[in-house]
Amino acid sequence: MSVSSITRNTATVSWNASSDNVGVVGYVFIRTIDIFNITTVDTVTSTFISLTDLTPSTGYTVRVEALDASGNKSAASTPLRFTTVNAVSLKIGGVNVSNITRSGATVSWNPLSSNSGAVGYTILLNGNSIGSSSTTDTFFNITGLSVNTDYSVSIVAFDGIGNQMASSTEVSFTTLNSVGVPTAICTNVDGIAERPLPYTEGFESGVDWKQSNNDDGDWKLATSFSTPSAAAEGKRYLILRYIENNGTAIIRTPCIDLTDKSDASFTFQYQLYGNDIGNLVLQVDDGTGWVDYWSQSGDQGNI
């Protein structure tokens, strides 16, 4: 006799088949709860039985008697004792928050073992349930969050009858700060009217970007240089050939109002090619100052 697949509430008991001169037709399965000495008797025809509705962290003793066609019973098998899984000992680990944006994040965690008895997970945000997942999906996408706000997330596992059986520790995270510029600031910055989304610019009809008056170089609209050999929309592109005193050359896009936008992306083509190439930096004015969001350094080749 052996016991397998032990969880908080279930277990499977199996044994070898018996025989006699009349013919075995079934088995009497005897289960005793050790602490209460309460015995349950079941009759089965197979050589195994799946036990359900067991109590966590509880000892059980099981025996089997063979039953033949004449109603005779064999002597009981040697008693076998097992203990169900302790609910308190189950912990969900590996909780991690990633892909944090202004309005969302992804939480992931390590799964419980297959014999834990868990059938799913509940996701708690600041102590409140915001959704659930199956045991095969150990991640959850959180949406609808507020900008620049602190949150805590934890995971709870539940069994087949809805009981909480394991939990994780809380993990804290903060959503990203707003990239949106307040409308009052975004109106006619540098004398250029703001642009709505989606905004595109290929410089084929000129440049309405603003050169800084307090830097060390000037961006030029070009078509005649050997590299790059083409532009994003045609023949024109901005080029910076020289900066005095290893300084900085700044050019600003029109103001793009991102107020009330949950996400936004800025894509562009660039070439960093030649000797003594410095840094190309993308900054965003969040209404309080310029913040670095991307940078690239050095010669990247003639591509």
Same domain, 149 and 68: no
Domain that holds residue 34: 2-86
Same domain, 189 and 265: yes
pLDDT at 67: 92
Same domain, 275 and 302: yes
Same domain, 210 and 271: yes
Q: Single out the residue in 70, 86, 102 at which a domain terminates.
A: 86
pLDDT at 181: 40
pLDDT at 57: 79
User: What parts of the chain have a pLDDT lower than 50?
Assistant: 180-185
Write the pLDDT tens digit of every residue in 131-149: 998 888 899 999 999 888 8
Same domain, 202 and 122: no
CATH number, position 169: 2.60.40.10
d(CA 271, CA 273): 6
Q: Using alpha carbons only, how large is the chain's radius of gyration in Å? A: 35
pLDDT at 80: 94
Answer for the pair 166, 87: CB distance below 8 angstroms, yes or no.
Answer: yes
Same domain, 125 and 69: no
Same domain, 69 and 100: no
Q: How many domains does the chain have?
A: 3
Same domain, 143 and 255: no
Same domain, 166 and 183: no
Same domain, 125 and 23: no
Same domain, 19 and 120: no
Q: Single out the residue in 125, 146, 174 at which a domain terminates.
A: 174
Same domain, 157 and 118: yes
Q: Single out the residue in 86, 107, 134 at which a domain terminates.
A: 86
Answer for the pair 87, 161: CB distance below 8 angstroms, yes or no.
Answer: no
